[in-house]
Structure 1
């Protein structure tokens, strides 16, 4: 796939997300009203209307797909192929989308404690896998949009991504570096020859 093809697909995806969110908002409007969600699910905190998703989600999709394109193709010519297949980006997107849907299903089913524990387990996962990448944020937000709107998943996803960046990008690297230096200090025993 070259950069021009990816740009065309990204544009189609952005249009698809725009049509989908506005269709969801229109359906919600005519079936009981567009819901609002309180921050941290507390009534005393401000509520955020799902109408904001109509503006936020298309812009977020376009920006994150632009970031994915820049990471995948860099400064290549627009007709040149990606130096690497987009497999990592697709796996990250599908994994985050599945995770967002899982959290939404658990929360809707009334298992908010389980959903909270699954979110905490994500931090252990973030130590080994880079969950801070743009495809992960996009998948996470899209997976949770039907249940929570677009704003709250974006806030949560950004926070989780920042924690994931610290865990994977800094703490993990520091531990690997310290472990490699410690391994160099250990004495190496030579095998005894039988003879």
Structure 2
């Protein structure tokens, strides 16, 4: 697949997201009205209408798909070579599932489970690059039905910052300490064998 086909896929994906958000907003408008959500679920803080999702979600998906293209499309001297790793799809789906689970548990009133899911996301930031576009987009889309697009984007952005710090800062430090410890153990064992 060349760069033009990837751009076409980006347009199709953005169109699907746009149709989905407008369908959701239309359904809400004709049934109970488009809901608004208070920041941090606190009535004293301002509320944000889900109408903002009509602008935010297509823009966000298009932008994140563009950043994904930078990692996936590799330019060769002769032509553009497209390499689409399947782990991007797995990352998107896992973040989508975690976003849906967080929304479902919040809606059902299980107050502890959303905190556990956020803890799972943060701990997985040591093992997986949760700061990447596919994780962020899956998480936001998974929570959009319940919370609209704005609040999940803000929460997702905070998780992206924390995930980048964990994966790019803390993880290499832990790996360095573990490798130094293992090197000492191995060198000590070799000395005792001699």
Q: TM-score, normalised by structure 2?
A: 0.91
Q: 1:109-160 deviations in whole A, cap 9, x for unaligned?
A: 1112211122112211111111111011011111110100000000001101
Equivalent residue, structure 1, for 2:34: 34
Deviation at 1:164, TM superposition (A): 0.8
Q: 1:79-105 deviations in whole A, cap 9, x for unaligned?
A: 5222x4321211111111111111111
- Contact 1:25/1:51 (CA < 8 Å) preserved in 2? yes
Deviation at 1:76, TM superposition (A): 4.6
Equivalent residue, structure 1, for 2:138: 139
Distance in 2, matches of 1:191 and 1:184, equals 14
Task: Compute the RMSD of aligned alpha carbons.
Answer: 1.9
Equivalent residue, structure 2, for 1:59: 59
- Contact 2:94/2:138 (CA < 8 Å) preserved in 1? yes
Deviation at 1:77, TM superposition (A): 7.0
Tell me which stretches of 4 or more aligned residues in structure 1 moved more than 6 Å. none
Equivalent residue, structure 2, for 1:110: 109
The number of residue pairs the alignment matches comes to 192
Residues 12 and 170 (structure 1), Cα distance of their counterparts in 2 relative to 1, 3 Å cut: same
Distance in 2, matches of 1:77 and 1:63, equals 27
Higher mean displacement: 119-128 or 182-191: 182-191
User: Hey, which of these two has a bigger chunk of helix by percent?
Assistant: 2
- Contact 1:15/1:58 (CA < 8 Å) preserved in 2? yes
Residues 101 and 77 (structure 1), Cα distance of their counterparts in 2 relative to 1, 3 Å cut: farther
